[in-house]
Amino acid sequence: MARTMIDLDDEMVEQAKAIYGTKTKAAAVRAAVEDAVKRHLRQQFFDAVKSGELDFSEIIEKTRVDRPTEERKSTA
């Protein structure tokens, strides 16, 4: 892990400590950076699914489990 010296807004750091439940500035910054990266990656994934770039239809079809015949009749 690299050691980096940066200027931070003290009020923002205190808010980050409260949000992430951390006790130190370093822990709050690490949590905030991790959260930002994960949010970005999740958004990229959702955007790819929404645009049709990712197609799960084959996976869904191959892993589909049919209900037993009796159960299908009782819910019809």
Helix, coil or strand: residue 66: coil
Looking at residues 11-25, what average pLDDT do you find?
Answer: 97
pLDDT in tens, 34-71: 999 999 999 999 998 889 888 888 888 888 888 776 66
- Domain extent, residue 58, equals 28-63
Amino acid residing at 27: A
Q: How does DSSP classify residue 52?
A: T
Please tell me the pTM assigned to this model: 0.67
Sequence-separated (6 or more) residues with CB below 8 Å from residue 20: 27, 28, 31, 32, 35
Whether residue 37 is contained in a domain is answered as yes
Q: What pLDDT is recorded for position 74?
A: 63
Whether residue 16 is contained in a domain is answered as no
Phi-psi region of 21 (alpha: psi -120 to 50; beta: other; left: phi over 0): left
| Structural domains of the chain, count | 1
Whether residue 6 is contained in a domain is answered as no
Q: What pLDDT is recorded for position 76?
A: 57
pLDDT in tens, 21-41: 999 999 999 999 999 999 999
